[in-house]
Every structure is written in C-alpha cells, then in structure tokens.
Amino acid sequence: MSPVQQPEEDISLRIQELAGNLKIRDVMTRHVFAVTRTCTMRDVQTIMKNNAISGIPVVDSNHVVGMVSVHDIMSAFEQDWMADAVADHMTTGVRTLSEEQPLSFAMSAFSKFPYRRFPVVNRKNELVGMVTLRNINVALIQELSRQLATMETEGGRVTPPASSDSCIFYRTYRLARYDFESGGKASAELREQLRVRGVAPKTIRRAAVACYELEINIIAHSHGGTLTLYIDRDCVRITANDFGPGIPDVEQAMTEGYSTANDWIRSQGFGAGMGLPNTKRLSDEFAIQSGVDMGTMIKSIVNLNTSEELSDESK
Ligand SMILES: Nc1ncnc2c1ncn2[C@@H]1O[C@H](COP(=O)(O)OP(=O)(O)OP(=O)(O)O)[C@@H](O)[C@H]1O
Ligand SMILES: [Mg+2]
C-alpha cells in the first residue's frame, strides 16, 4: 500500500507539522562564538564586528551565564565601559532552549519573548548552538521546497517524512483551542484505518483512546496545535504538538486525578485528570516534552502485531 495522500493540506498545516517533527538541533547554528566573564566589552565588540554577529553568550565551564548584545556594546561605548569585564554589563537570567525540543518550542519562544536569538544547550546544560529566526526560516523553506519537489515528482501525493518506507497511513490534523467539535476526528479515522487492516479490536481501542485523549488535551488545554498519525506495518505513532502554554510540572500533570480544567471544559464532559495517565498506560512507548510558554509535544506509540493482537485474532 502507498502512503495516503492529504489533498486538503495547506501550507500552514505543513509548517506546523514540520515544526513538530524537526528538532531545534536540526536548525541551530553549531559554530558558536562565546566569551568568558573576564573578557572585556571591547573584546566582545571585536568578535561581533569580525564575525558579523549581534549577540554573544557568556559561558562558565560551557554553561551559559549571560548574553551580551549589540545594544549592550552601544551602551558600554556611550558610558565608557569598553574596558570593563563582560560580567559587569551582561544580561543575566538568559533563557535557553534545549537541542532536543521540537522546533515549535523555538517558534513559540520567538513569538513570546523580545529576543532575537536563543542559546541552545544539551542535556548537561552545556552550550551547543544558537538559534535565530533566520535559522528557522531557512530550515522551513528548505524542507518545504524538498517536500514540494517530492510532491511534483510523485504527482501531487503528500509523502511522509523520509525514513518511512513502511508507512501505510500518514495524516496531520489541526486542532484549535476549545473547538471540541473537531475532537475525535483523528481517533475516528485511526480506528477505521486499523479496522480495515484487520487489527485486533483491543489494539484498535488502545490506539484510538490514546489518540482521542491527546486530541482533546490540545483542544482543552493548549492555544491550538496539530496531531499527526503515522501508521506503519509494526505500529501506530501519534504525535501531539502545540504552541503553548506548556505544562509547568509534567510529573503532576501525569498524576491520576490532577486537572486544571475550568468549569466550561468540565461542562463539556472533560477534566477528570485521567487523560495523560491513561494514554501512558495504553501506549507501548510514551514520551512527553513541555516548555512553559513554548508548548507541549507528546508521542504515543502503540505496537501492532503484538501477542495481544495475535491472541485476539485467533479468537
Ligand atoms: N497540551 C497541553 N497543554 C497544556 N497543559 C496540558 C496539556 N495536556 C494536559 N495538560 C495539563 O495536564 C493536566 C492533566 O491532563 P489530563 O489529560 O490527564 O487530564 P484532563 O485533560 O484535565 O482531564 P481528562 O483528560 O480526564 O478529561 C490538564 O488538566 C492540564 O493542566
Ligand atoms: Mg485530558
């Protein structure tokens, strides 16, 4: 079977989907200039001028402790601080992004904060790159052009990401805040796709319920986002991706019975605080990443052809 096409896809949906699939590490600049606290403002100015950059992170043992911008250099120039150490004039409390976060987190960060670049750190909190709006735009344009070229050669068929030769169904759904009427479309389609493939009812239920919970969470708790379904021969992958507001305490959100649903959401029949713990329980693999003010990305994988399925099928 070939991947199912999505004729109604539009460009902004494609961008949202890409923003969920690409990681910050895929677009960041890896060659980063950084200075230590004892460098002077003049040293920084020289580095900026020679390399045409407008902001430099200040590091201590490769951990970001501040930023110096062109604006800081201009102030230093006016105040006669050019011989001072950067530690005296840098901006502290710098917001960093993690290289493993989806690109959508970086896009949210740029729309919410007045910064023109963010340092990117690895799991050990060490500086590994910088990301600017330009990086993001270039990456999105390149990827969209690549997809367009593929669509042209494949007669308009939308293809799933590279590395998915066994994909049999691939679709992204846009979900708007409080649009409960759209909730359930993805899970209904998933149910049907699995049914026609002869997947065992128990497995269909697990995947469809996980999908539904993630759909509703985007609608009820986020500013809006996308849900991508990807079915291959071995498993169903469900990816929910939104642009904020993020979950401040993921462990708490994963606790049974914890909910921040307001009265209106409760009046729609939701808010028992069971969606996330249930989704995790129903999934063979489950991962959640969330950044306050940036967004939430949740992945659920339900395996097909498991012993559960085989035993169901033999009934
Ligand atoms: N995409 C999201 N964005 C922001 N917050 C979220 C998101 N998904 C879940 N949350 C937070 O996690 C809490 C727990 O989510 P969960 O799905 O378990 O329960 P619920 O949606 O409140 O209720 P239920 O799913 O039982 O109807 C939510 O109340 C909300 O605070
Ligand atoms: Mg929920």
Q: Is the CB of 262 under 6 A from ligand 1?
A: no
Q: Is the CB of 291 under 6 A from ligand 1?
A: no
CB atoms within 10 A of CB 123: 9
Instruction: Note the ligand closest to the C-alpha atom of 274.
Output: 1
Residue 283, both tokens: 């999934």
Q: Which domains does the chain have, with CATH numbers?
A: 24-137 (3.10.580.10), 160-313 (3.30.565.10)
Segment 194-210, tens digit of pLDDT: 999 999 999 999 999 99
Q: Is the CB of 260 under 6 A from ligand 1?
A: yes
Segment 229-253, tens digit of pLDDT: 999 999 999 999 998 999 999 999 9
Segment 78-102, tens digit of pLDDT: 999 999 999 999 999 999 999 999 9
Q: How confident is the model at residue 308 (pLDDT cuts 50, 70, 90)?
A: low
Per-residue pLDDT at 161 exceeds 70: no
Which ligand 1 atom minimizes the distance to the CA of 272?
Answer: 26
Q: Is the CB of 242 under 6 A from ligand 1?
A: yes
Q: What is the DSSP string of 69-128?
A: EHHHHHHHHHHT-TTSBGGGTSB-S---EETTSBHHHHHHHHHHS--SEEEEE-TT--EE
Q: Which residues does 1 contact at the CB level (< 8 Å), separation at least 6?
A: 168
The closest residue, in CA terms, to atom 29 on ligand 1 is 259
Distance 310 CA to ligand 2 centre (A): 30
